[in-house]
Amino acid sequence: RGVRCALAIRDVVRALGIEIRAGLHTGECELMGDKVGGIAVHIGARVMAASEPGRVLVSRTVKDLVAGSGLAFESYGVHELKGVEGDWELFFAA
């Protein structure tokens, strides 16, 4: 649902002449009062930062979890995400 939602938001605001960047990752989050935090939130923000206007990027984790959903992805290459160890293969929703 998250990937489809991001694609729908991108399409609606594009019709208004606005290009957004979206980045999705999944993992454990921490609730801190009315705020959400944790490494998954940080990684999602870094995935979004690696995106280009008009793109919805996802981590390999998201891509693997939605296998069989009918969503299509294309490789966006391997990236270093600031503040996150290792290399991350990212994909854009097509």
From residue 43, alpha-carbon distances to 15, 18, 58 in Å are 28, 24, 10
What are the start-end ranges of the H helices in the chain? 2-15, 39-49, 60-65
pTM: 0.88
Tens-place pLDDT, residues 4-30 = 999 999 999 999 999 999 999 999 899
CB 55 within 8 A of CB 19: no
Cβ neighbours for 11, distance < 8 A, ≥ 6 positions apart: none
Tens-place pLDDT, residues 38-89 = 889 999 999 999 999 999 999 999 999 999 999 999 999 999 999 899 999 9
CATH no. for residue 25?
A: 3.30.70.1230
* Domain housing 22: 2-93
Number of domains in the chain: 1
Output the CA torsion sign for 61, 67, 72, 77: positive
